Amino acid sequence: MTESPVLFRTESCGGGDGLEFGDMAMLAVGIEPDDATFRPQIGVVTLNRPKQLNALTLEMCSLMLSQLTAWASDDAIVAVVLQGAGEKGFCAGGDVAEVIRNVRAGGETRFDYGDEFFTVEYALDLLIHQFPKPIVALSHGVCMGGGLGLIAGASHRVFATNSKIAMPEIHIGLFPDVAGGYFLNQLRDGAGLLMALTGHLITADDALSVGLAEHVIEWETMQAAVDAMTRATWSNDPVQNHLMLSALFEDRAVPTNDSELAKRADATRGLTATGSAPEFRDQLVALAESDAYFSSAAKNLLQGSPTAAHVSFEYLRRSKDRTVDDVLALDLILAKQFQRHHDFTEGVRALLIDKDKAPKWSPASWADVSPKLIHAHFSAI
């Protein structure tokens, strides 16, 4: 029997044995001991495709959306933990190869799977952003694209010291979706724009420095942290539970003062002053000539889809000051359009399906990306 791609379980709190709180503890949270008991539980979600770096499928997103919706209204659930199986990472992103296999198969229904996948994935992301209880996201190793979309909305974003974090959509001719226009715009020192347009890889220290992470701990201590959550004193007040969790992870945090990205805050802030994608490109290339740190980012941008670069720049511009639900609604429009344009299919083919790593972008030149083509991606279908 094939194991589920997502595993769900609940952990009883109070020493892990399901014991009721004592009378004084119940009174402290406003529960009358004579007519009520409080049996707190933690819901645990484990992405369970380790051989595929836990890449998200439609089935996985549907399962999580259903379970988290149920837990949101379950009074016994005081918090949720998100984690990934395997040693290599939390989640490498969405399984876009399956999306594009359907597109390449042709026929009238070729876009149906992708349209449904993005619809459900973004609904899941929105639920996490708006979840009424604490969500603790424990990320280790690879966390990219759709995986970062799951992390970004959590109330407690906890990254392991071995984290490799990126929004690599430029490589496959896509835009930085999963509410990237919302959370990337909020990062300090212009780091979000750099990540969005170049797939720039950052560390846990970097993530903490720009506001993407709240805590950095050793991966080996993550399970111990979950165990500590089951021994903690919970209340029926999500605000108090949030503060308690923050203290719990702060006690386990490791010293972090080695962010190479933070050392270049002036340079990344300068990139945000650019008024167009070509201006951003030119300034980044100039930075790379004087600082090798930016070399891979500049190379990624120059080798990536010119259309995706232009659309991504415009997407971040349009997303500024929008609410997360507005941004995710815009994401769905863009995702459907990218399915129906050339570069997304070609990028996934080259990188993930045929793996020749030689995409033929159309148009191939930055100068040939017209305003009409850019704005077509923002038209609702």
How much is the pTM? Answer: 0.93
Confidence (pLDDT) at 36? 53
Strand partners, 164: 142
What would the two tokens of residue 370 be? 């017209």
CB atoms within 10 A of CB 275: 9
CB atoms within 10 A of CB 325: 14
Confidence (pLDDT) at 204? 97
The pairing of strands 41-47 and 6-12 is antiparallel
Reported as a single tens digit per residue, the pLDDT across 277-296 is: 999 999 999 999 999 999 99
Confidence (pLDDT) at 1? 60
What residues have CB less than 8 Å from 39, skipping those under 6 apart?
12, 14, 18, 20, 76
The pairing of strands 41-47 and 77-84 is parallel
Confidence (pLDDT) at 22? 32
Q: Read off the pLDDT of each residue in 86-109 and give the average, rounded to a whole number.
A: 97
Average pLDDT, the chain: 93
Residue 232 has pLDDT above 60, yes or no: yes
Reported as a single tens digit per residue, the pLDDT across 183-217 is: 999 999 999 999 999 999 999 999 999 999 999 99
Residue 2 has pLDDT above 90, yes or no: no
The residue type found at 327 is: V
Q: Read off the pLDDT of each residue in 100-119 and give the average, rounded to a whole number.
A: 98
- The whole-angstrom separation of Cα 30 and Cα 50 is 43
- The whole-angstrom separation of Cα 291 and Cα 298 is 11
Reported as a single tens digit per residue, the pLDDT across 158-184 is: 999 999 999 999 999 999 999 999 999
Note the maximum CA span of the chain: 74
- The whole-angstrom separation of Cα 254 and Cα 217 is 5
| Contacts made by residues 183-188, CB under 8 angstroms, sequence distance 24+ | 183/152, 183/153, 183/212, 184/316, 185/316, 185/319, 185/320, 186/211, 187/211, 187/212, 188/265
What would the two tokens of residue 96 be? 């876009």
Q: ω into residue 33 within 30 of 0, thus cis?
A: no
- What would be the CATH architecture of the domain defined by 6-376? Alpha-Beta Complex (3.90)
Q: What is the CA radius of gyration of the chain?
A: 22
Confidence (pLDDT) at 33? 41
Q: Read off the pLDDT of each residue in 238-260 and give the average, rounded to a whole number.
A: 92
Reported as a single tens digit per residue, the pLDDT across 14-61 is: 743 333 333 333 333 344 443 356 789 999 999 999 999 999 999 999
- The whole-angstrom separation of Cα 334 and Cα 319 is 12
Confidence (pLDDT) at 14? 74
* pLDDT grade for 257, boundaries at 50, 70 and 90: confident
* pLDDT grade for 114, boundaries at 50, 70 and 90: very high
- The whole-angstrom separation of Cα 171 and Cα 230 is 41
Q: Do residues 131 and 155 lie in contact, with contact meaning Cβ atoms separated by under 8 Å?
A: yes
**What residue ranges do the domains of the chain occupy?**
6-376
Query: Would you call 73 exposed, middle or buried from its count of C-beta atoms within 10 A (0-12, 13-18, 19+)?
Result: exposed
Query: Would you call 140 exposed, middle or buried from its count of C-beta atoms within 10 A (0-12, 13-18, 19+)?
Result: buried
